[in-house]
Chain A
């Protein structure tokens, strides 16, 4: 029901905007009172103005302006650990499609025999 939703949104925005304008008005009053030497009155106006501004700002941010963020799909850094069964050499490289644990890995740079993939894991949470 987009019409009903937009009407509710409009009413809410109007109320919040009115509260915000009123709060700004109070802040201006606070400034005038301060210039007039009325510190106590200025303090009251300031309090009301700030409270109204905080309340309207928070409500506006939480409801009307709040838009769903595009969720970032995590792309992990996945590593493949290879182990040479002959000389014990271990190597780590980024994961490639087709790699699987206990499957054949690259050739050992030391003894040139095919290594075994010992583990495939990702770093970080």
Chain B
């Protein structure tokens, strides 16, 4: 750049004009380079920086982006690992209080990696029964393992330990999956692999935090938000005679506003969801006088909705894989009994962490809604089935 040679710092500071040196040449160079003052030199610097940044963004922009995202995933993975380790430690400590079996840590690690394989859906006919069978086998096996770790453990504590292990196992699985995508992304440097991991990370972290809170609730036997439906049923059946109607599921008959109300819930206070589908099937199948089925359950709220809000609708209000839902829908259709649903809204975090006060307030509202529904939709002398759905951890009957 000749202009920079011509317009030295000294000349500029002395206030000399370029025309005084070599007018013809000066004008030409100024026109060519546009560098007439120190501000123009800065203009060149700006341009150089801009070009450098432009080239950098073209050549290395994507790599830099990948690197930033990978770092984000790495940080998230580290957080999940901490939560998983903490949950593992809680499980070991909880079992250690009840058992002094040697090699406990290795046993817990083995149980945390326990998995189930979903049956094939190539031919979907009868898949619900297959899923139920596999889940029953898994549950039976897990309970057997816990009993062998803690011999003589009572039923309620067994269910709580089962829930504790389930939460720990879910955290472990989340950690393994995210680690897989992180390492795969790092190995291949594929933008799309890393982008997917980075995009789902906030939701995964939310779920991991919820599971982390669930571990503590199961350790202490505190009711969780998911138990809202179960609590509504418990409020109706308190004081009445109960009997077991299906595995881990109890029922009681009470009178409400001159109607017969059959109430069903999972057997508490251990962390149970029971088999409400089987219970409803048995009750509707054995008595022909049920005129309505009311189901109460916790439902996932949408962002912006208030925790503990109560909503009404129709259909089988029950979550999970779908086995129990399928059974209830089938039997309701077979006997042409209307299904009414009452939902107590909460977030995923609220559903598996200790029950919030707002959810308890929602339970109170739901009890009133059920009473109103009974008055409005049935006649005096009718028989109604009320099913309180959800994990009954810390909730008796």
Enumerate chain A interface residues (CB-CB to B < 8 A): 1, 8, 12, 33, 36, 38, 40-41, 44-45, 48, 62-63, 66-71, 73-76, 78, 95, 97-103, 119-125
Contacts and interface: CB of A to CB of B under 8 A. Distances in A.
Contact of B221 (A44, A68, A98, A119): A98
B38 interface: yes
A102 B86 contact: no
Interface string B222-245: 110000000100100010000000
Contact of A121 (B49, B212, B216, B356): B356
Interface stretch (B75-83, B139-147, B371-379): B75-83
B394 A99 contact: yes
B82 A70 contact: yes
Contacts, number: 103
- Residue from B86, B186, B394 with most neighbouring chain A CB atoms (10 Å): B394
Interface in B44-102: 45-46, 49, 67-68, 71, 74-75, 78-79, 82-83, 86
A103 B222 CA distance: 13
B396 interface: yes
A55 B268 CA distance: 58
Given A100-B221, A102-B397, A71 B79 contact: yes
A48 B46 contact: yes
A73 B216 contact: yes
26 contacts: A8-B67, A40-B39, A41-B39, A44-B42, A48-B45, A68-B79, A71-B212, A74-B213, A75-B216, A76-B353, A78-B354, A95-B222, A98-B221, A100-B221, A100-B268, A100-B396, A101-B223, A101-B234, A101-B394, A102-B234, A103-B269, A121-B223, A121-B354, A121-B357, A122-B222, A124-B356
Contacts of A123: 357
B276 to A, nearest CB: 19
Contacts of B356: 121-122, 124-125
B221 A97 contact: yes
Nearest to B12: A38
B216 A63 contact: no
A79 to B, nearest CB: 8
A33 B269 contact: no
What range describes how many residues of B lie at the interface?
A: 35 or more
Please give me the 6 A-B residue pairs with the lowest Cβ-Cβ distance, nearest first. Answer: A100-B269, A68-B78, A102-B396, A44-B42, A122-B354, A68-B75
Contacts of A70: 82
B326 interface: no
Interface string B350-361: 000111110110
Nearest to B156: A100
Interface of B is mostly: helix
B220 A71 contact: no
B264 to A, nearest CB: 16
Contacts of B223: 100-101, 120-121
Given A78-B220, A122-B354, A123-B357, 12 more contacts: A41-B37, A44-B39, A48-B46, A78-B222, A100-B223, A100-B394, A101-B269, A101-B396, A120-B222, A120-B394, A121-B354, A124-B356
B49 A73 contact: no
Interface in B241-277: 268-269
Contacts of B71: 62-63, 66
A76 to B, nearest CB: 5
A40 B186 CA distance: 47
Given A8-B67, A44-B39, A71 B83 contact: yes
Interface string B191-231: 00000000000000000010011001000111100000001
Interface in B377-397: 394-397
Contacts of B216: 73, 75-76
Given A63-B68, A120-B222, A121-B360, A100 B395 contact: yes
B117 interface: no
A73 B36 CA distance: 63
A28 B79 CA distance: 42
- Residue from A12, A41, A121 with most neighbouring chain B CB atoms (10 Å): A121
Contact of A122 (B83, B355, B395): B355
A36 B13 contact: yes
Interface in B1-46: 13, 37-39, 42, 45-46
A48 B354 contact: no
Contacts of B39: 40-41, 44
Interface string B278-309: 00000000000000000000000000000000
